[in-house]
Amino acid sequence: MDILPLYFLVIFIILLFLAFKEYSGEYIDPRILYTICFIQIILIGFRKDVGPDYGSYKGIFSYSYIYDYSTIFLSNIPFSNSPKLGIEWLYILMNKVVLDLGLPFYVVTLLVAIISLTLVYKFLIKNSDYPTLLLLLGFIPGMLISTGGQMRQSVAGGIMFYSFIFIKERKLFKYFICVFLAAGFHTSAWATLPLYWLVRIPMNKFLIFFLVLGSMILSPFRIYEQLGVFLNFIAGGSSISDGVNGYMDEQYARINGGFGIPEVLMALYTCFILYFNDELEEKSPYYEYYRNVTIIGICAFFILRENPILSSRLVGVFMGFVMLLMGNALSVVSKMERRFIFSGLIFIIFFNFCVFSVFNAKKANYSIDTYYNFILP
């Protein structure tokens, strides 16, 4: 088991301490959480050769000079004859501007960290009764795997996470703008556009059960292959997928019928929703919205699970909302159920922490002896 750098361990311990205080009823000043966010931005934004895709993204940065600005903007216009970039246009634009200004690559990683982490922190602080617990739950994979690894998807995810405010407020135009901007960093964001309408579809426990069961049955048949062109577009290509896949060797064992950690988590999320659905529907604000998004993500995961790229990239856009669903449940369930949910979330937090430390920290240079930062000792 590799030990994470001291900086990350301190943040983890602080968030854990604050999460227990929050659970006991104490008020956590948002300024404390924003301070932690600032520190995380420094740790992720100024990292050096850390993350499985760092080299690939640095290569994109170095070669972004080959594109002119007109080509970048025209590539985003549908049905135009302009050449495609191979990487989303807003991400290329960010890299080219930074390169043309003569700034180093760590400015790109810094901008990615600022956008994704700030939006997630702001959304959770304003929309959850237990933001500290949820930020701790997202420490791994949210910060280290997503923001510190899958850079394009982390920016898109941050924008889409924050854009949920406009779904709740029923502001379609603002939501569409967010989807458009997020898709400029990762095309999988287009898959979230129907959520504006899908979140209001009523579901009961029986429908949820049969939707998930049906998706599990369909899993071996690879029906997604019938939508090859569309899903390849949504997945954003495979030019930098090798590094991401290096995070989880066990995912290859899942192909052709294997069963791994993601499947277990999806099954647990489904059981949680089935058990608490009626109570949360009645007591928890916007529970139906978070539930519908989560069920869509679970079904998509099982249908796409034979393809490790699609089942991670596409599903990741939806599954971020499951922590909101579970965290907000703490405010409305009984004392015994509250204790059970909190204990389960703490277990998941430590489980993710241990899995990352054992299998992935060294690979991604997030171990105590491989992590480097441009401005920190």
Beta-bridged to residue 47, according to DSSP, are 373
Res 309: pLDDT: 61
Dihedral of CA 222/223/228/231: which sign?
negative
CA distance 121 to 128: 10
Residue 373 φ then ψ, to 5°: -135, 140
Res 137: pLDDT: 87
Alpha helices (runs of H) in the chain, residue ranges in sequence order = 6-23, 30-45, 54-62, 69-74, 89-100, 106-127, 131-137, 151-168, 172-183, 195-198, 205-218, 228-235, 241-245, 251-254, 261-283, 287-304, 308-319, 322-329, 335-355
194 pLDDT more than 60? yes
Contacts of 356 (CB under 8 A, 6+ apart): 140, 141, 144, 145, 366
Which tens digits make up the pLDDT trace of 199-229?
999 999 999 999 999 999 988 887 766 665 5
Which tens digits make up the pLDDT trace of 159-188?
998 999 999 999 999 999 999 999 999 888
Res 264: pLDDT: 84
Burial class (CB in 10 A: 0-12, 13-18, 19+), 195: buried
The alpha-carbon radius of gyration of the chain (Å, integer) is 20
CA distance 163 to 171: 10
pTM for the structure as a whole: 0.87
When pLDDT is cut at 50, 70 and 90, the band that residue 248 belongs to is: very low
306 pLDDT more than 80? no
Instruction: Give the tokens for residue 333.
Output: 């369930």
283 pLDDT more than 70? yes
CA distance 264 to 247: 18
Which tens digits make up the pLDDT trace of 60-101?
999 888 888 888 888 877 656 666 777 889 999 999 999 999
Mean pLDDT of 106-127: 93
117 pLDDT more than 80? yes
CA distance 376 to 126: 31
Mean pLDDT of 9-27: 93
Contacts of 201 (CB under 8 A, 6+ apart): 292
When pLDDT is cut at 50, 70 and 90, the band that residue 38 belongs to is: very high
Res 23: pLDDT: 93
Q: Which amino acid is at 141?
A: P
Q: With contact defined as beta carbons under 8 Å apart, do 183 and 190 qualify? A: yes
Which tens digits make up the pLDDT trace of 50-65?
888 888 899 999 988 8
252 pLDDT more than 70? no
Res 65: pLDDT: 87
Res 244: pLDDT: 42
156 pLDDT more than 80? yes
Under DSSP, is residue 47 helix (H, G, I), strand (E, B) or coil? strand
Task: Give the chain's mean pLDDT.
Answer: 84
Q: With contact defined as beta carbons under 8 Å apart, do 123 and 109 qualify? A: no
16 pLDDT more than 80? yes
